[in-house]
Structure 1
Amino acid sequence: MTQPLWADGASATRATASDLPFSAEVVIVGGGYTGLWTAYYLLRERPGADVLVLEADHVGFGASGRNGGWVSALWPVSPDTLARHAGRAGAVAQLAALRDTVDEVGRVDAAEGVGSGFTKGGALVVARTPAQEERARASVAHSASWGGSTTWLDAGATRERLAVAVARGATFTPDCARVHPRRLVDGLAGAVRRLGGRIVDGARVTRTGDRVVVLADGRRVSAGAVIHATEGWSGTVSGQGRRVVPVYSLMLATEVIDDARWARIGLAGREVFSDHGHVVIYGQRTGDGRIAFGGRGAPYHWGSAIRPEFDHDEAVFGALRSILRDLLPQLDGVGFTHAWGGPLGIARDWHPSVTWDPVARIGGAGGYVGDGVAASNLAGRTLADLVLGRQSALTALPWVGHRSPRWEPEPLRWLGVNAGLRLAQAADREELSTGRPARLGWLLDRLTAH
C-alpha cells in the first residue's frame, strides 16, 4: 500500500475550515506534534485558554503521522557544537532535558490514555564494518564525557538483542522508546479537545503577521499570539521559505512476522535499531509484529517542492528492502505490505530551535532533522512557558532563541543538499571497500555543520 502503515484504521473527530472562528487567544499553525504539544501544555497550565490549532490537511498528515516512531534523546548537532555557543553547562542541560523528555512522552501517554504503544526498549545502533566500529566506540567515550549512558556491546551481546548477519558490535542507549506515531498524534489531539482546545482541519495558512493569520481562501483570524509549527511544510507560509528545507525520508513495512521467526530475529526488548553508516536508516518492531524500516536516500526537490508523488520512489524503496534483508537474512520469504514517505525539516546548520518574540507575540519551533518525536514535546512545553511569560529551566535551554542561517537560494540549495546525500552514500561505499573511515567524512561533516 502507498499510505503509511500507521494510517491503517486511523480515525479522528475533525472540525472543518467552515468552523473557523474570527479570533483566538493563541493560534497555532500546524496540527502535528509541535502544534499539539504546545496546545496541550498551554491548556494544562491555563485551563480555559482560547487555543486554536489550524491544520492544512488533517491532524498528523505531515511527519507526525509518517515517521519511524523513535521517541529518542538523539540530537542532530553534537554537544561540542552546542557548547561552543552555550557553554558546557548549557549543552549538558539541553541533553538532560532531552533524556527527561522521553519519559515525559510516556507519562502523558499513560495519563491521557493516548494508546500509542509507548515502550521504552532503548536504541541499538549496529557497527557492521571496521570503520563503523571505530566511529561507534568513539561515540561511547564521547557520550560518557557529556553525561550520557551509551554503552558498547560486543558482537555476541549485539546478536542476542538483534541477530544481524554481520555485527562487530553495537552501541546501546536506554534513552529511547518506540511508539505508533499516528496513534500518538491522534491521541494527543483528543487530549487537546478534551481540555477545550479547538482544532480545525483543512485550514491552510499562507501568511501570518501583525497578530493576524491569513488563510489561502482569504479569511483572517485575529490572534493574541501565533505559533508556527509547520516543520517541513514551513515553505508554504509566506516568509518562511528558506528557514528549513524539506528533505524526504521513505519507509516500508513488512507483513506480520510469526513468533518463530521473531525468535530468530530478536528485538525481544522492543529496541529500535539502526547502524553507524553515514546514510541514515532506522527501524522498529511494531506493536502488531512487523518491522517498520526507513531511511534517507530520496533526493531534495528543486525549490523545496513538496508533492504527493515525492512520497514514493521505487529506487529508494528497493534499496531499503535490500538493506533490511542484508541486515536480517531471516526475513527471506517475508513480504512487504506498505511503502510511504514524506518530508522532514532541516535547518541550514542542522540545529533545531525554539523562537519567541514577546513584543510581536509570534514564535515557533522546528528543524528537528528527523529527531522530532521527543524534541517536539520539549518544544511544546517550552513554547507554553514562553507564551505565558514564564522564565523557567526550559526557556533557558540553548536552543531557545537560536537563529539558524537561511538556506541559500536556488540553484545552490539544490546542489548543496543533494551533494550531501551523494557524499554520504559515497562515504559508506568507500568504508565498505576499504574497511577504513572514509576520507570524505570530513567534507560531509563540514557540509552538515557538525
Structure 2
Amino acid sequence: MNAPLAPGFVNGDVSYWYRATGVPDPGAPLGGNIRADVAIVGAGYTGLWTAYYLKKADPALRIVVLEKEFAGFGASGRNGGWLAGLLPGSARRYAKDHGQQAAIRFQREMFGAVDEVIRVAATEGIDAGIVKGGLLNVARTPAQAARLRAEIVDQRAWGWTPGDVDLLGTREMTARIRVAGAVAASWSPHCARVQPAELARGLARAVRDLGVEIYERTPVTEIARGRAVTPGGTVEAGLVLRCTEGFTADVAGHHRDWLPMNSSMIVTEPLDDWDEIGWDGRELLGDTAHYYMYAQRTADDRIAFGGRGRPYLYASRLDDRGHTHDWTVDALWHLLTTFFPAAKQAKVAHAWSGVLGVPRDWCATVSLDRATGLGWAGGYTGHGVAAANLAGRTLADLALGRDSDLTTLPWVDRRVRRWEPEPLRWLGVHAMYRLYRLADAREATGTPRTSVLARIADMITGH
C-alpha cells in the first residue's frame, strides 16, 4: 500500500463511523415462534423508518424487526453521509409510465425528505452531526464542465428551479470549497451532511422507545406469505416487508433482483489547517466524472472521501466486514490529494467498503402485494440516506391501506426485470467501470465532449 497510513489505521471493522463509540454488540436474537402484525426484515434505514412511521400512525400494532447483525450494520452505517434530495434513479424512466408531472412530484418529495429526516432527528434527540450545507458538484475537465451545464438544463425540464440548483461562478465556487483544477461547479441546497451510523443508532433507539421489537443476530432464511423464518424461530405476520437493500442477493429467491454494488471510502486524520481548502459551510462534495467521487468534511474535521473500488464480486458475493483492497485505498488517496493537495499533511486513518442495491434499470421501487402481504422497498443506487426515509413513509402508508400522495408516486409497484445470470453480470459490470475509467482518462486530455466509451458503458448495463 502506497497511501500513508496513520498509527492505528483500521481496514474494515464495518466503518469509521463506529470508531468513536465502537461497533455495537448485537442485541438479543429471536428465541422462539411469535406472532406480529408486521414483520420487517432488515434493520437499516428502510426498515427502521418503516417501523417508525407505522408505530407512530398506529401504536397498537405489534411490529417486529429482524436483523442478521445489528441495526445499522449495512449501508446505513457505512455510507458517505449524504442526506441528499436526489432521485434514486432516472426521472425519465419514472415518467415513462406515469408522466412528467409524476416524476416532478417525486423529485419535490425527495427534496422534502431531507428536511423530514432533520425534523425527526431534532424531535427524537438524535445527534448525528447534521449540517444542511447543500451539495457542491465540481467539474475538473472541459468534458465534465459540459456535462455539468447540460445536467442543469435537463434538471430545469424536470422542475428544478434556480433555487434548487444553479451554476456557480469561479468566485462563488472557490468561496465554498477550493478544489484544485476545478473549472466549473453547481450548487444545490437540498443536501445535508450527516454522521450515518449515529443516525442509524438514534433511529433504532427511537423505534425501540416506541415499542417496536428489534431482534438482532437473527438471520432470516425464508420470507414467505404470512411468515419470516429464522434459525431461532418463525415470526407469523399479516405483512412481511423486505428491507434488505444491498444484502438482498443473500435472500432466498431474490439472488438476481438487485445487484450488490461495492463502494469504498477512506477518512483522513483530522486536518489542522483548512485555509487552503475552505469548506466552512460543510457542503457535501461530488464531481461529474464517470468514475465519480463523493466527500464530506466530518464533524471532527477530517475528510471522508469515497468512490468505486472493486465494484462487484462474482456471483453477487458480499464482503460484509467492510475490508477494502490496498489498491482501492491508494486510488482514493491519490484522487483525494489531487482534489486537495493540502490534505497531504494528514494520513489515512480508516478505510472501509459497503454494498448498495442496484436494480436492473437503476431505479428504486416500493411495493406491497395486498393479496400475499409481502412488500419491499429499496434499490436506491447510492442515494438511500434520504430515499429510505421517503420509502419508509410510503411503505407505511401502503401497509396501513392509505391512499396518499406517497402511494401514487411513480416508484410504487414498479416491476423491473432481473439481472442476467453469471458470468454476464460480472462481465457487464466490470466492463462498464473499466470503460468509465478509460473515458475519464481520455477526457483528462482536454477534449470538450463526453467520451464515446462512457456512452458504450451506459449501453452495456442500462445505467
TM over 0.5, shorter chain: yes
Give the counterpart letter for 1:230 in structure 2: T
Q: Does the 8 A contact of 1:32 with 1:59 survive in 2?
A: yes
Give the counterpart letter for 1:248 in structure 2: N
Cα 1:449–1:194, aligned 2, differ >3 Å: closer, same or farther? Answer: same
Match of 1:252 among 245, 263, 266: 266
| Cα drift, residue 447 of structure 1 | 3.0
Give the counterpart letter for 2:451 in structure 1: A
How many residues are treated as equivalent by the alignment? 447
Give the counterpart letter for 1:391 in structure 2: D
Aligned to 1:5: 16
Aligned to 1:445: 458
Aligned to 2:4: none
What TM-score comes out, normalization by structure 2 length? 0.94
* Residue deviations 1:126-172 (CA, integer Å, cap 9, x gap): 01000000000111122222221210012232111111111111011
| Cα drift, residue 371 of structure 1 | 0.5
* Residue deviations 1:236-273 (CA, integer Å, cap 9, x gap): 11111011011110001011112xx2132111111010
Match of 1:214 among 211, 229, 234: 229
Give the counterpart letter for 1:439 in structure 2: V
Distance 2:84 2:32 in 1: 35
Aligned to 2:409: 397
Aligned to 2:210: 195
Identity across matched positions, percent: 44
| Cα drift, residue 424 of structure 1 | 1.2
Cα 1:270–1:365, aligned 2, differ >3 Å: closer, same or farther? Answer: same
Cα 1:419–1:13, aligned 2, differ >3 Å: closer, same or farther? Answer: closer
SS of match in other structure, 2:417: coil
Comparing 424-433 with 384-393, which one deviates more in the overlay? 424-433
Aligned to 1:138: 150
Task: Please report the RMSD computed on the Cα atoms of aligned residues, expressed in angstroms.
Answer: 1.5
Q: Does the 8 A contact of 2:33 with 2:233 survive in 1?
A: no
Aligned to 1:329: 341
SS of match in other structure, 1:167: coil
Aligned to 2:86: 74
Q: Does the 8 A contact of 2:36 with 2:64 survive in 1?
A: yes
* Residue deviations 1:46-73 (CA, integer Å, cap 9, x gap): 1131000000001111000000000111
Distance 1:20 1:417 in 2: 41
Give the counterpart letter for 1:6 in structure 2: W
Q: Does the 8 A contact of 1:14 with 1:199 survive in 2?
A: no
Aligned to 1:311: 323
1:42-57 equivalences in 2 (<5 Å): 42-57=54-69
Distance 1:13 1:108 in 2: 25
Distance 1:63 1:16 in 2: 22
Q: Does the 8 A contact of 1:350 with 1:448 survive in 2?
A: no
Q: Does the 8 A contact of 1:10 with 1:182 survive in 2?
A: no
SS of match in other structure, 2:406: coil
The runs of 5 or more residues in structure 1 that have no matched partner are none
Match of 1:230 among 244, 252, 265: 244
* Residue deviations 1:14-50 (CA, integer Å, cap 9, x gap): 5311545512110000010000000000011011310
Distance 2:32 2:364 in 1: 31
Give the counterpart letter for 1:245 in structure 2: L
Distance 1:132 1:268 in 2: 25
* Residue deviations 1:322-375 (CA, integer Å, cap 9, x gap): 000000011122111110111111011101000110111110111111110000
Give the counterpart letter for 1:221 in structure 2: V
Distance 2:247 2:382 in 1: 14
Comparing 391-400 with 162-171, which one deviates more in the overlay? 162-171
Aligned to 1:264: 276
SS of match in other structure, 1:395: helix
Q: Does the 8 A contact of 2:142 with 2:446 survive in 1?
A: no
| Cα drift, residue 297 of structure 1 | 2.9
Aligned to 1:64: 76
1:13-412 equivalences in 2 (<5 Å): 15-19=27-31, 22-148=34-160, 149-215=164-230, 217=231, 219-258=233-272, 261-308=273-320, 311-412=323-424
Distance 1:150 1:207 in 2: 44
SS of match in other structure, 1:354: strand
1:406-421 equivalences in 2 (<5 Å): 406-421=418-433
**Structure 1 residue runs of 4+, over 6 Å off?**
none
Distance 1:251 1:280 in 2: 12
| Cα drift, residue 448 of structure 1 | 4.0
Give the counterpart letter for 1:362 in structure 2: L
SS of match in other structure, 1:58: coil
SS of match in other structure, 2:119: helix
Distance 1:440 1:73 in 2: 29
Q: Does the 8 A contact of 2:431 with 2:457 survive in 1?
A: no
Give the counterpart letter for 2:17 in structure 1: W
Q: Does the 8 A contact of 2:131 with 2:193 survive in 1?
A: yes
Distance 2:116 2:33 in 1: 32
SS of match in other structure, 1:37: helix
SS of match in other structure, 1:311: coil
Distance 2:339 2:170 in 1: 14
Distance 2:446 2:240 in 1: 52
